[in-house]
Amino acid sequence: MPSNQLSFQGLTVFLHMSKSGSMQQTAADLGISISTVSHHLRNIEESVGASLLDHKRRPMALTPAGAMFARHVEEGLRCIRLGTNELASGNLPEIRELKLGNVDDFDAEVAPELAQALAKAMPKCAFEHYTRPSHEIIRLLLERKLDAGVATRPANDIGGLVEYPVLRDPFVIALPVSATIPPAVFLEGKSGLPFLRYSRNLLIGNLIEAHLRRIKVSLPNRFELESNQSMMGMVADGSGWAITTPACYFRAKRFHGRIALVPFPGKGFTRTLCLFTTDDYPEAMAEIISGSLRRLISQYFVDPVTRSHPWLSNDFRVLTNGD
Residue 120 is predicted with a pLDDT of 83
Domain with CATH 1.10.10.10 in the chain: 3-89
Q: What is the mean pLDDT of each run of 10 residues along the chain (323 residues)?
A: 63 84 85 86 85 85 86 74 56 71 88 86 82 92 90 86 95 94 91 93 94 92 92 95 96 93 93 92 85 93 95 94 71
DSSP single-letter state for residue 189: T
Domain 172-268 fold: D-Maltodextrin-Binding Protein; domain 2 (3.40.190)
Q: What single-letter amino acid sits at 209?
A: E
Report the distance separating Cα 123 and Cα 305, nearest Å. Answer: 34
Per-residue burial over 170-183, b = 16 or more CB atoms within 10 Å of its CB, e = otherwise: bbbbbbbeebeeeb
* Assigned architecture for domain 92-169+271-318: 3-Layer(aba) Sandwich (3.40)
State the virtual CA torsion across 274, 276, 282, 286 in degrees, nearest 10.
-30
Residue 2 is predicted with a pLDDT of 46
Domain with CATH 3.40.190.10 in the chain: 92-169+271-318, 172-268
* Assigned architecture for domain 3-89: Orthogonal Bundle (1.10)
Residue 3 is predicted with a pLDDT of 46
Report the distance separating Cα 25 and Cα 18, nearest Å. Answer: 11
